[in-house]
């Protein structure tokens, strides 16, 4: 294995563990404390993104099984599309700008959903430090996922990320053996092996990207903060104050 392949695998599994953490904390809240408030959990995450990344931008210039299965397929397809769009944004523009806008609009939209759908559920929660700790753990895992995923996509690709996080469900199952009394099956190991082999095979083959025609490339007017060093390194120019923004 080359160092680049190992780094790609490690980054993908780090994202998988973040997703695993969100799944475990959500299931703990639902099964042990009977708290089912996914929108509140998402709202807390978007608030964190808003408070950190949008504030950073402010100080810078510039029941039916068939229907359920269909919704899952639709959600997975939209998630893949969003990751590809995210790859374009973080590689062409700025990671902070992407996360800041996600935090801003995510907070507004999830807050409206929260008030409409989960108002009564939240009012019925009997708060204690254990429930609050699970909410904090979920929010931190989700915040880390949102913060690190643009970096991983920028280093690798959206396809690599989507393949790498397939192991998240398996990690959740492994933890569920100890936390929720799941029954072990050899298919868990087989699934994990198949996913990792496919992931490694994909990472071993370099991805070819087509060079756009010169006439179709729009003039570059600004460089994203996160991509400035990369641009300077590619062009071989020294960093100067005039290159910034």
143-189, pLDDT tens digit by residue? 888 888 888 877 777 778 778 888 887 888 888 888 777 787 778 88
pLDDT at 207: 59
- The answer to the question of residue 25 being in a domain is yes
Residues 6+ apart with CB under 8 A from 102: 46, 49, 53, 146
> Residue 211 falls within a domain, yes or no?
no
Instruction: Note if the pTM is more than 0.75.
Output: no
The answer to whether position 233 is within a domain reads: yes
What is the model's pLDDT at position 120? 84
Return the structure tokens found at 121.
């559920």
Task: Please give the residue range of the domain that contains residue 77.
Answer: 3-206+221-243
Q: Is residue 157 situated within a structural domain?
A: yes
pLDDT at residue 225, rounded to an integer = 45
**CA 31, CA 28: separation in Å to the nearest integer?**
5
**Can you list the residues of the chain whose pLDDT is less than 70?**
1, 58-65, 68-69, 72, 75-76, 79, 206-245
The pLDDT value given to residue 60: 64
Q: Is residue 43 a part of any domain in this protein?
A: yes
Query: In the prediction, which pLDDT does 41 show?
Result: 84
- Separation in Å, CA 194 to CA 27, 139, 167, 220: 26, 31, 10, 43
In a domain, 180, yes or no: yes
Residue 223: the pLDDT is 46
CA pair distance 85, 90, nearest whole angstrom: 9
**Domain membership flag for residue 235:** yes
Query: Does residue 35 sit within a domain?
Result: yes
Total domains, the chain: 1
């Amino acid at each position: 294995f080359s160092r680049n392949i190992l780094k790609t695998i490690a980054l993908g599994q780090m994202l998988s563990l973040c997703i695993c953490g969100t799944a475990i904390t959500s299931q703990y809240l639902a099964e042990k404390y009977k708290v089912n408030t996914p929108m509140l959990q998402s709202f807390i995450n978007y608030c964190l993104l808003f408070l950190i990344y949008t504030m950073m931008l402010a100080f810078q210039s510039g029941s039916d099984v068939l229907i359920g299965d269909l919704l899952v397929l639709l959600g997975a397809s939209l998630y893949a599309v969003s990751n590809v769009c995210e790859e374009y944004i973080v590689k062409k523009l700025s990671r902070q700008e992407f996360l800041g806008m996600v935090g801003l609009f995510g907070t507004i939209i999830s807050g409206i959903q929260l008030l409409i759908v989960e108002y009564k559920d939240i009012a019925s929660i009997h708060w204690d430090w254990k429930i609050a700790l699970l909410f904090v753990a979920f929010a931190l895992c989700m915040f880390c996922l949102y913060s690190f995923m643009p970096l991983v996509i920028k280093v690798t690709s959206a396809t690599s990320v989507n393949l790498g996080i397939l192991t998240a469900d398996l990690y959740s199952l492994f933890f569920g053996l100890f936390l929720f009394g799941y029954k072990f099956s050899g298919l868990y190991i087989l699934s994990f092996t198949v996913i990792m082999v496919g992931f490694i095979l994909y990472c071993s083959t370099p991805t070819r990207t087509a060079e756009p025609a010169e006439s179709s490339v729009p003039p570059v007017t600004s460089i994203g903060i996160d991509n400035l060093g990369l641009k300077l390194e590619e062009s071989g120019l020294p960093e100067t104050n005039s290159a910034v923004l």
